[in-house]
């Protein structure tokens, strides 16, 4: 199978998206609107700091402004809510991203839910999550949307396929399961209490790994010809899928890095620009 395995190149998808988004940024600027994403980083987790920096760099490349709010690890829930409210009220900010995870003492759900739905460009609010489940979100959670975007870009149909998602986090596993279901896949969502995960993955036409464990998905778990999407990103640029072992069994596979990651960032920027567009339409009304 490996000679024929299609590598699902996220960079290619992201480049394509960037062209479309770049044209919209130009149009908005001509109308006097500067799209702007605010990212909030609480504490000094080095991976989170890297993600925020990567998002800032990607914004700069396309002409989207980015504001970085950095808060100390001791920040309280109330203080963080205040910061989010300031950004909610700032008309020059079109998207707000609170980098997950926040320190344990902070009520992350309360903070996510403070983000106004118009600026919830990563679909983290309870309302955004629910709208996504109904297939009606303006801004679905970025990584799940990136996964669907990659499948669409490479014309991989989801309809009628058995999709097995490993992971059920509210930002990834659950929303991508809902999105696959909305695209008429038959979906099984696995988690840490799932019994005999290997046997379930072996039935999958589409495998989505969102576990947070390096090389978790083994080559002999993959049904010949299955499509493998690795959303994982672990220390040392290692995915949740043992890429070399899974590649020979799969018909298509995402690499790490260069798979889901770049498309997630391109999606975040696309959402921010869409939100800026909506603010322009509001002004014109
Ligand atoms: P998370 O919140 O830690 O969730 C991990 C999920 O995996 C949980 O649902 C957990 O089950 C499940 N799990 C853990 N151990 C398992 C096991 N042995 N067998 C089966 N399921 C198991 O992680 P996350 O935020 O969803 O992220 C998942 C991965 O995606 C990470 O590698 C992360 O770095 C990556 N990620 C990538 C991007 C990107 O842009 N590419 C964005 C976000 C996240 P329980 O619910 O039972 O605990």
Tens-digit pLDDT profile for residues 59-108: 999 999 999 999 999 999 999 999 999 999 999 999 999 999 999 999 99
Q: Count of alpha carbons within 13 Å of 123, Cβ hemisphere only?
A: 29
Alpha-carbon distance of 201 to 111, in angstroms, equals: 35
Residue 1 has pLDDT above 70, yes or no: no
**Beta-ladder partners of 162:** 186
Question: Catalytic: 122?
Answer: yes
pLDDT digits (tens, 9 = 90+) for 219-233: 999 999 999 999 999
Query: Ligand 1 centre and the CA of 3: distance in Å?
Result: 30
d(CA 57, CA 38): 13
Strand ranges, E, within 72-132? 95-98
Identify the band that residue 160 occupies on the pLDDT scale cut at 50, 70 and 90: very high
Residue 252 has pLDDT above 60, yes or no: yes
Q: Are 59 and 22 in contact (CB under 8 A)?
A: no
Question: What pLDDT was estimated at residue 18?
Answer: 96
Of 113, 120, 122, 230, which is the active-site residue?
A: 122
Distance 65 CA to ligand 1 centre (A): 30
58/35 Cα distance (integer angstroms): 13
Ligand 1 pocket by Cβ (under 6 Å): 143, 166-169, 171-173, 190-194, 197, 210-213, 231-234, 240, 260-261, 264
Rounded CA-CA distance 120/279 in Å is 13
Paired strand residues for 95? 37
Residue-wise pLDDT for 46-56, tens only, equals 889 988 999 99
**Nearest-5° angle of CA 49, CA 59, CA 12?**
100
**Average pLDDT of the segment spanning 123-127:** 98
User: Which atom of ligand 1 is nearest the CA belonging to 232?
Assistant: 32
Q: How far is the CA of 231 from the centre of ligand 1 (A)?
A: 9
* 47 or 126: which leads in pLDDT: 126
pTM assigned to the model = 0.97
Question: What is the separation, in whole angstroms, between the first and last Cα of the chain?
Answer: 56
Residue percentage of the chain with pLDDT more than 70:
99
């Amino acid at each position: 199978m490996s000679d024929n395995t299609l590598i699902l190149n996220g960079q290619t998808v992201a480049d394509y998206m960037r062209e479309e988004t770049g044209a919209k940024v130009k149009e908005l600027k001509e109308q006097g609107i500067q799209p702007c994403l605010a990212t909030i980083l609480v504490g000094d987790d080095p991976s989170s700091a890297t993600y925020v920096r990567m998002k800032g760099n990607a914004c700069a490349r396309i002409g989207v402004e980015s504001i970085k709010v950095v808060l100390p690890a001791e920040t309280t829930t109330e203080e963080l809510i205040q910061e989010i409210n300031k950004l909610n009220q700032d008309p020059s900010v079109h998207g707000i991203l609170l980098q997950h995870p926040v320190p344990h003492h902070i009520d992350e759900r309360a903070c996510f839910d403070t983000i106004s739905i118009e600026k919830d460009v990563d679909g983290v609010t309870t309302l955004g999550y629910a709208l996504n489940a109904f297939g009606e979100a303006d801004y679905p959670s970025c990584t799940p949307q990136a996964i669907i975007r990659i499948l669409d870009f490479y014309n991989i149909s989801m309809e009628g396929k058995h999709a097995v998602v490993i992971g059920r986090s509210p930002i990834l596993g659950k929303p991508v399961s809902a999105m696959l279901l909305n695209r008429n896949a038959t979906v099984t969502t696995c988690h840490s209490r799932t019994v005999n995960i290997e046997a379930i993955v072996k039935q999958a036409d589409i495998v989505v790994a969102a576990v947070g464990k390096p090389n978790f998905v083994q080559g002999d778990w993959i049904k010949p010809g299955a499509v493998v999407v690795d959303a994982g990103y672990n220390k040392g640029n290692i995915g949740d899928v043992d890429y070399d072992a899974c590649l020979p069994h799969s018909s298509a596979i995402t690499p790490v890095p260069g798979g889901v990651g770049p498309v997630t960032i391109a999606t975040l920027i696309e959402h921010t620009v869409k939100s800026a567009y909506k603010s322009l339409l509001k002004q014109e009304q």
